Structure 1
Amino acid sequence: METYTAMRHFADSWGLLSMAVFFLGAVVFTLRPGSKQSEKQVAAIPLEDD
């Protein structure tokens, strides 16, 4: 029972914090300046002829 309590406290504090930081990092990475050109190139890959 002690392991469950310890894991729950960890998930309530550090687990939530790490998920929030990861989410914010993903949003910043997606919306960073200069990424528009690389996103256009990647989006055109399926339409290119072999």
Structure 2
Amino acid sequence: MSYDTLRHFADSWGLLAMTLTFLLLTGWTFLPAARRGSERAAISIFEDEDPIDG
């Protein structure tokens, strides 16, 4: 495979594949089924796992 062939692939189909992957992974976070996990992750930093007692 020459450089020109690889460059042509990356400029056309590679860019399309990366764009579709980005849209898929970004859109996945807005699915209703992912809401519980997203809310849990958002508040998890405020929970005390090991409370310090005086």
What TM bracket, shorter-length normalisation? 0.7 to 0.9
Q: Which runs of 4+ in 1 moved over 3 A?
A: none
Give TM-score, length-normalised by structure 2. 0.71
The structure whose Rg is larger is 2
Give TM-score, length-normalised by structure 1. 0.75
Gaps of 5+ in 2: 50-54
Name the count of aligned residue pairs: 49
- Specify which structure has the higher proportion of helix: 1
Higher relative contact order (CA 8 A, sep 6+): 2
Gaps of 5+ in 1: none
CA RMSD, Structure 1 to Structure 2 (Å) = 1.6
CA distance in 1, matches of 2:45, 2:26: 25
